[in-house]
Structure 1
């Protein structure tokens, strides 16, 4: 084999390795959580990196310890995740994709445990609040008490690690698979129409995946001067640029009482429209940051 053939073979091998590399994806919470499920739906085979808090998730992206992160941004029942808006604004990251996940809560316990054995139900406070009717009935009929825990999937992990026979967790089906537990009751949420919107977040400097479909949505953060009418003028400028405003969220500016950063989601027809929207905001705003262009879920 000649040197040229050897180089070509090595190059092909390197490219094949890159093609089969498994992405490292950070999430807040434990394996088996809804964020884990959303990441799997978006990306397929991945290496999940659990993090205890959301700031740690984004830091892992910025520092290059993971390829990307999956973060919930909005729930159809409980609204927006304010902390995640702040992190998107403060850190050098961008939104590359979004997805919608139907949230299903299940009562999960160790194998062999019966419903009559359950005296304590653990889960994240949001999950507990989304299962109020079922938990009220469980309390009335079996005297079981609901207790807040740091994570949905983490509650199942705890039940299994501690070998608890009188305790169940409320978590996604994936948590039962992940920790070898069993589902006692499926779908205990109060509302069937319970969805969470997730963002796939990458470093701002990373190239966009060329395999992704063309963007038709954009997220932007901006701050207006603290004067009457400035927000109206900014929003009118967006309307004049031809974009469709689908969401607006406000967050207070730390250290500046009664001043706000506004987060908007815009539907765009093409890159030119997105550029016009940014240009339209600039004369009316003290700060404008584009958070990402991506395909709407």
Structure 2
């Protein structure tokens, strides 16, 4: 019986999520491709896999809302994060020319990150699929000679396909943040980040008071986003990330104050913070 960590991710072999799994947990793991994000969460929660990896936001296309909803639905913890550089390739059968492409397949997030590049191709049909690498496999197995897929370089190599264009994304500063999932929380050492969700009554000033629990203690919030509460129109749950760990006294007290004001607070976990893979000068140079 294998003693290697078994890690679930959404997509086919060669997907960006597979790269993220290696980045988070090392190369000496057993990867388990899953057809959907729901299946990733279930595989970890049910014990079929030790860990899971899902994307939560992209620097161009924004948050992957489905996974924020699933975090709230499942009893799992965030145990790590990584920021993966996404460099898309336009991939087709060997010998096919760019002018011959009539359809382009890929995951909706990848298509959103390549909107301008797709427009430059002219009259092509854009078809959404469930996975980037899976799109390459699809055009390979179906023999679609006038079709291309948007995916990573690794997917082209894995399926023996040709790269028509590299860096097909609209912006080269293109990163996706992935989180690792586990059944038990971790205690991070060094720089850490904490993710949580909370909701409160719809009353004036409540959000300000909730966030003041962190501001008064000089805790840096790195993300806040609202999502609708299912079955309760116009009521929202807030997802929040901050720098620090629940083991720190100031963070623990901030959460204690938040719980006094909110209807519910769910801490997804404190985990090692991934350092940004880019530098500020890169971002400034790409400002419009």
Counterparts of 2:237 and 2:166 in 1: how far apart (Å)? 40
Equivalent in 42, 51, 68 of residue 51 of structure 2: 68
Secondary structure at the counterpart of residue 266 of structure 2: strand
Where do 4+ consecutive residues of structure 1 move more than 4 Å? none
Q: Is the 8 A contact 1:120 1:146 kept in 2?
A: yes
Alignment of 1:216-295 (within 5 A): 216-268=192-244, 271-295=248-272
Secondary structure of 1:192's counterpart equals coil
List alignment gaps of at least 5 residues for structure 1.
1-16
Q: Which residue in the other structure is 1:5 paired with? A: none
Instruction: Measure the CA separation in 2 of the matches of 1:178 and 1:48.
Output: 15
Equivalent in the alignment of 2:39:
56
Give the secondary structure class of the aligned counterpart of 2:234.
strand
Instruction: Specify which of 130, 138, 143 is matched with residue 150 of structure 1.
Output: 130
Q: Give the corresponding residue for 2:13.
A: 31
Confirm whether residue 199 of structure 1 aligns to residue 179 of structure 2: yes
Change (3 A) 1:98 1:124: same
Question: Is contact 1:27-1:35 (8 Å) kept?
Answer: yes
Distance 1:85 1:207, change over 3 A: closer
1:73·1:197 contact (CA, 8 Å) conserved in 2?
yes
Q: Please list the CA deviations of residues 111-165 of structure 1 after superposition, one character each: whole Å capped at 9, or x if unmatched.
A: 33333443322112332232223222222xxx54333223211110111112222
Superposed, 1:125-164 pairs within 5 Å as 125-139=108-122, 143-164=123-144
Count of residue correspondences: 272
> Which residue of structure 2 lines up, in the alignment, with residue 3 of structure 1?
none
Tell me the SS of whatever aligns to 2:233: strand
Mapping for residues 52-131 of structure 1, pairs under 5 Å: 52-131=35-114
Are the counterparts in 2 of residues 37 and 174 from structure 1 also a CA contact under 8 Å?
no
Distance 1:296 1:178 in 2: 31
In structure 2, stretches of 5+ residues that fail to align are: 275-288
> Contact between 1:70 and 1:201, CA under 8 Å: does it hold in 2?
yes
Tell me the secondary structure at the aligned position of residue 157 of structure 1. Answer: helix
CA distance in 1, matches of 2:120, 2:213: 52
Structure possessing the higher radius of gyration over alpha carbons? 1
TM-score (norm 2): 0.87
- Deviates most, 236-245 or 94-103: 236-245
Q: Give RMSD over aligned pairs.
A: 2.0
Separation of aligned partners in 1, 2:124 and 2:223: 40
Q: TM-score, normalised by structure 1?
A: 0.85
